Structure 1
């Protein structure tokens, strides 16, 4: 009994595959299916079980997965995770995020992560997205294959109904575990599965298949739009991954919206919500540059500055009064995750002090006979305002020698030129 479309099965037999194995019906059927594929290359299949610790039976489930994998001679990696309960997105979403983070950390370059989502799961996802007012990208629901970490996320069972999987498992006398949380309709997805979908099937027996097919059509449409999104993004993209407001204004609202979402995704930010798109279009695109208008969601920010939109995230704060001695022989690790390094010279003549701005500092620039307020020099610089508090000051006693790598004092500039050296400040990663 073969449930996989032949084209997908053939495409994956020569590739290394890591199966997300919960021990439930769906992942057990998928793991068995891949393990018994006649063309599967030896040693190319392994499994990962994520232990959430959310149920009293979690340890027993782990042991069940170990027993199954030992019986089928499949290597198993168990990942223990802590699920954040205070994210505001709900326990179900928090568990999924922790699980995906564990998968991503474990996935090797070029490897495919196989998950056992099936046709009924796709219908539920489509319904959930529709009830949240999602657009075409959201209604596309789950993709069969997409980039994920260092490899690909593969959902080969999307065309297969759950009843077919259950028939397969019974035919092969597979053993699986049942998660009692699946019987509670307090979770949105469970409510759809337990209450709404059975009601829909009474009137429309093929409701799940129809919704999954609609999700596929939405995915086809989204794919066609993605090329235009890429072209529009390249037209609007400025230096350092910023968006030109002038170029963005040349697009109609619908294309602006898609470019903004595409850009936020490329910048590694959380998905841009609908109210964020509206706020950017109605306020940021029409604000004066000196207002530094912005939209925030989660720890992400989009800020208007100097004719461009800039993407940023919240960075860790420096401990009050932090300072450290640095001789330049190796990169300095700053409290917010940034680094400052000296290139072209082995070290400074004497160790210098690194610290954060406190206010009121002055610096004497090359070619000047008097000092300037550092605050004014930063305002005239190309350093965005939200990064200025993170610029490390390099000092010799009370004298400020540099702010990051962009504002250098006359004294330090003379030393750097004599040693054919320069500073490089790497801001905190987004």
Structure 2
């Protein structure tokens, strides 16, 4: 290992030297074993944040049942606290992907505010990742490889070994007498990444010995290009009036006309950056959904369906609706104690400001044909009132309606509608979130 390895590691970690904690993702394999050992050695000489380890046990193979004990013994020898998190891996087409998602969900839940999770991916892993994504047809962002740092839960994920080769880590481990576990599934070529690691990349390196260096250098160039595309997207999203809420509801939206003025590549670039924290991005074939939505007639109601929700257009804007938000089922309910907030199943909560109206109250939802008697205006169709208030059609089935017997007293989001002159109450709604749970 190069003599300057420790200084390179500390230079990378410098921005997080004052973090509340450094938590090491310890699998028991070579890279995470070396990372934890090295940080403990440095901590004996320098002030570092508190160091602990997290081991995620997937329970996918019998041999893996011994790994938590191995990791615990290693941590005990270093005087490092360790936490074991057991996860359930969902069955699916890609066991690798399901295990990774379960693992990172566990890591995200384990991180406190501002804490850092350090993982041991190295330079060879980066080259493997770039090749894997290349064969899957990834774009600039995918081919930039694994990010050295990114947000994770309430903290941040750090990969401080991305500049180090596996061979260097192995020399360090042998020099310090470290032992590590080998996952037998890594030898199975049925998994795509294993095939790349064991068959493809070694052959490439035999032909081009510096292949790992050149692949990762290309990834660095692409990462820079992705940052430039991000800056372009931010400017375009500002021009498109990007916003995250609408009259108190969490409803991300963009102005369609402003997007449509851009070239198609810039449209897709802006939308990718806008959708990235909201949904898994569509592949090339699914971008036809954007064109259909963009070019639809003004009175049409097209839908662009994605894995984590859907996009709709209304009032000249593109709106994001997450799957949990779309799954709402309206259910009427009595409001027996108006002095207390009323929790609405999957639809937030209602409360009164001021003295509530008398009489038995009930919350219902639109069925069509509702009429509201307004002070000084007479009877008005609720549909017309919602049109006047520019409430998008897709929101209307969620709006709680306050009834007293057959009298419609109030509508959530529209506190200005008054059934009585000088009434002493206002209906307040705390809407639900519109979150896919992505970051």
TM, length-normalised to structure 1: 0.89
Shift of the 428–144 alpha-carbon distance from structure 1 to 2, 3 Å rule, reads: closer
Deviation at 1:321, TM superposition (A): 5.1
SS of residue matched to 1:353: strand
CA distances 1:14-64 after superposition (whole Å, capped 9, x unpaired): 433111111111111111111111454366211111122222234321222
Written as runs of structure 1 = structure 2, the 5 A alignment for 1:406-425 is 406=414, 410-411=418-419, 414=421, 417-419=422-424, 421-425=426-430
Structure 1 distance, partners of 2:417, 2:18, is 59
Of the three residues 179, 186, 190, the one matched with 2:190 is 186
Name the residue aligned to 1:301.
310
Written as runs of structure 1 = structure 2, the 5 A alignment for 1:100-139 is 100-139=104-143
Shift of the 223–298 alpha-carbon distance from structure 1 to 2, 3 Å rule, reads: same
Equivalent pairs counted in the alignment come to 421
CA distances 1:170-227 after superposition (whole Å, capped 9, x unpaired): 1111121122221212221111112211221221122222211111111112122222
Deviation at 1:337, TM superposition (A): 4.4
SS of residue matched to 1:261: helix
SS of residue matched to 1:382: coil
Shift of the 12–409 alpha-carbon distance from structure 1 to 2, 3 Å rule, reads: closer
> Is 2:393 the counterpart of 1:388?
no
SS of residue matched to 1:357: coil
CA distances 1:328-377 after superposition (whole Å, capped 9, x unpaired): 434332222423233x33755455222343444433344333352x4454
Of the three residues 40, 48, 64, the one matched with 2:70 is 64
Of the three residues 24, 38, 50, the one matched with 2:29 is 24
CA distances 1:299-326 after superposition (whole Å, capped 9, x unpaired): 3211121211111112264567552435
> Is 2:267 the counterpart of 1:256?
yes
Deviation at 1:419, TM superposition (A): 2.6
CA RMSD of aligned residues (A): 2.5
Shift of the 298–40 alpha-carbon distance from structure 1 to 2, 3 Å rule, reads: farther
Shift of the 337–423 alpha-carbon distance from structure 1 to 2, 3 Å rule, reads: closer
> Is 2:289 the counterpart of 1:279?
yes
Report if the CA contact (8 A) 1:337-1:429 is conserved: no
Report if the CA contact (8 A) 1:27-1:115 is conserved: yes
| Runs of 5+ consecutive residues of structure 1 not aligned to the other structure | none
Name the residue aligned to 1:313.
322
Structure 2 distance, partners of 1:173, 1:263, is 48
Bigger shift: residues 389-398 or 9-18 = 9-18
CA distances 1:62-83 after superposition (whole Å, capped 9, x unpaired): 2222222122111212222222
Structure 2 distance, partners of 1:283, 1:273, is 16
Name the residue aligned to 2:333.
323
Structure 2 distance, partners of 1:335, 1:421, is 21
Structure 1 distance, partners of 2:168, 2:331, is 64
> Is 2:351 the counterpart of 1:341?
yes
| Runs of 5+ consecutive residues of structure 2 not aligned to the other structure | 246-251
Written as runs of structure 1 = structure 2, the 5 A alignment for 1:133-282 is 133-239=137-243, 240=245, 241-266=252-277, 268-280=278-290, 282=291
Deviation at 1:246, TM superposition (A): 1.6
Of the three residues 82, 85, 101, the one matched with 2:91 is 85
Report if the CA contact (8 A) 2:22-2:49 is conserved: no
Structure 1 distance, partners of 2:302, 2:380, is 32
TM, length-normalised to structure 2: 0.87
Higher relative contact order (CA 8 A, sep 6+): 2
Bigger shift: residues 119-128 or 30-39 = 30-39
